Amino acid sequence: MLKGIHPILHPDLLHVLASMGHGDSIAIVDSNFPAASTAQGLVIDSPLVMGVDVILAVKAILTVLPIDTFTPEEPPVLAMQIVGQPAEIPEVVQLAAPVFKAEGADVALIERFAFYAAAKDAFAVVKTTETRLYGNFIIRKGVVRSDL
């Protein structure tokens, strides 16, 4: 463990997050998400991540990962719509929205298969033990600005 680093950010996950470049995305998904068959890149499902829900995973990841808010016409955070009820916001998305808002980002809901397609393009998929339905997010990485 490291001082100041959330304990679920284990070395493999930190390596993935640090390896991502501006514009790369990461999917943070629930326990029902078909991570292995959807992911083109890495699936992170270590015991440290598997013991937490998606909200805690998002909070921990956002302590080190900047969200790309540079391009307003492209949503930096995506979530899956409820099948057959696209106007309804899933409970877990409602709970996560303030976390993303604090980072300057809103959550855009997209259709289930569009979400799967976007997840296929993700740099990595982080699988959690979230059991609430539709607990899936894709976050596009921004930049760390330097005042040097």
The full 3-state SS of the chain, as one line of letters, equals CCCCCCCCCCHHHHHHHHHCCCCCEEEEECCCCCHHHHCCCEEECCHHHHCCCHHHHHHHHCCCCCECCCCCCCCCEEEECECCECCCCCHHHHHHHHHHHHCCCCEEEECHHHHHHHHHCCCEEEECCCCCCCCCEEEEECCCCCCC
- Architecture per CATH, domain 11-140, reads as 3-Layer(aba) Sandwich (3.40)
Catalytic residues: 22
- Tens digit of pLDDT at every position of the chain (148 positions): 778 999 889 888 999 999 999 999 999 999 999 998 988 778 888 666 667 899 999 999 999 999 998 887 889 999 999 999 999 999 999 999 999 999 999 999 999 999 999 999 999 999 999 999 999 999 999 998 876 4
Domain boundaries, the chain: 11-140
Reported pTM: 0.93
